[in-house]
Amino acid sequence: MRLSLACLPALAVLALAAAPVQAAAPSFVKGGTLSLCTDPTFAPMEFFQHPGDKLPVGFDIDVATALAKRWGATLRPIAMDFTGLMPGLDAKRCDMVLSGIFITPERLAHFQGLPYIATSQVILINAKTKGIAKPEDLSGKVVSVQAGTLYEKRLHALDDALKAKGQPGLTIQAYPGGADTVQQLTTGRAAAAITQDTEAAWRAIAQKGQFAVAYVYPATDQFGVFFAKNPADYKLVKADIEALRADGTLARFAAKWHLPASDATAALTWPE
């Protein structure tokens, strides 16, 4: 069937309307590639799903992939230890960090950071463990934690507070990965671990019946995406995060990875 020339302008308009809208890319996206520093030991945020996998999966990987797609780029994850994430960004080993890492004043002093979900810290225990219902119940017990995290700082502060009251402190065992931390509960090497509600929700599905949340800390944290300081990039990335939240993309990712639904929809505090 032939079309008259008069139809062509209308068809062009329809084609443009149907084409996906690509957002402007931040300055750190170059050559069609977005490199991401990530610590793939923190299921379901980022982890290797099967032994021998080369590429991590998880909520954060999906978020980073969605951002890269908006910027017309291909995501290239670079796996490293948690303690190397921010130094890696500083050394320009990657363009961005999005890896279950909190927004903190210390990090914002050196990098641009924007939140994408709100989340809560929890005390996780083996389902068979009794007698732990609050932080003070960890007195005299072995607690596992991922090294270099705010969880570790929280445990040391609790240890100091307990000793100041004349109570037994904690035996704090630090491990390089989040999965290593939780594993200590299954082997009986630790009575409890501090982690995030995201991991606790995942473990409830992946290892059903093995763990229990003994305590949820009342204050919420914000996981953030970090990149080099640049006000223009800040505005672009913020707009894209808001777009992914507004169109339900982050909520769909949360459901996919069994995160608490409120994590992806809770109000965020945007640092300026």
Domain identity same for 31 and 107? yes
Confidence of residue 100 (pLDDT cuts 50, 70, 90): very high
- Please tell me whether residues 53 and 112 are part of one structural domain: yes
Confidence of residue 12 (pLDDT cuts 50, 70, 90): very low
Query: How many angstroms separate the CA atoms of 253 and 4, rounded?
Result: 45
Task: Answer yes or no: is pLDDT of 15 > 70.
Answer: no
Beta strands in 197-265 (DSSP E): 211-227
Instruction: Tell me, yes or no, whether 249 and 232 share the same domain.
Output: yes
C-alpha separations of 9 from 5, 6, 15, 185, 253 in Å: 8, 7, 10, 66, 38
Looking at the domain assignment, is residue 17 inside a domain?
no
Task: Give the predicted TM-score (pTM) of the model.
Answer: 0.85
Q: Where are the beta strands (DSSP E) in 176-252?
A: 192-196, 211-227
Q: Please indicate, yes or no, whether residues 107 and 153 belong to a single structural domain of this protein.
A: no
Min mean pLDDT across 22-31, 96-105, 148-157, 234-243 is at 22-31
- Residue 108 in any domain: the answer is yes
Domain boundary among 185, 203, 220: 220
Distance, CA of 49 to CA of 44 (rounded, Å): 9
**CATH number for 156:** 3.40.190.10
Specify whether 130 is located in the same domain as 144.
yes
* pLDDT (0 to 100) of residue 217: 95
The residue-averaged pLDDT of 177-183 equals: 92
| Residue at 7 is within a domain | no
Residue 107 has a pLDDT of: 97
Residue with tokens 């769909």: 252
Rounded to whole angstroms, the Cα distance separating 91 from 78 reads 13
With a CB cutoff of 8 Å and minimum separation 6, the contacts of 231 are: none
Is 198 found in the same domain as 145? yes
Domain tally for the chain? 2
CB 139 within 8 A of CB 108: no
Does 208 have pLDDT greater than 60?
Answer: yes
> 20: pLDDT confidence band, cut at 50, 70 and 90?
very low
Q: Is the pLDDT of residue 5 over 80?
A: no
Q: Which of 183, 203, 220 is the last residue of a domain?
A: 220
11, part of any domain: no
Taking Cα atoms as reference points, which of 132, 130, 135, 22 lies closest to residue 69?
22
Do both 102 and 112 map to the same domain?
yes
**Domain range for 112:** 26-119+221-265
Q: Are residues 40 and 170 in the same domain?
A: no
Task: Give 51's contacts (C-beta < 8 A, 6+ positions apart).
Answer: none
Residue 21's pLDDT is what?
Answer: 52
| 100 and 51 assigned to the same domain | yes
Q: How far is CA 249 from CA 16, 66, 127, 242, 254, in A?
A: 23, 9, 33, 10, 9
Same-domain check for residues 52 and 89: yes
> Are residues 213 and 150 part of one domain?
yes
pLDDT in tens, 21-65: 567 999 999 999 999 999 999 999 999 999 999 999 999 999 999
Confidence band of 194 (pLDDT split at 50, 70, 90): very high
Q: CA dihedral in degrees (234, 237, 238, 241; nearest 10)?
A: -160
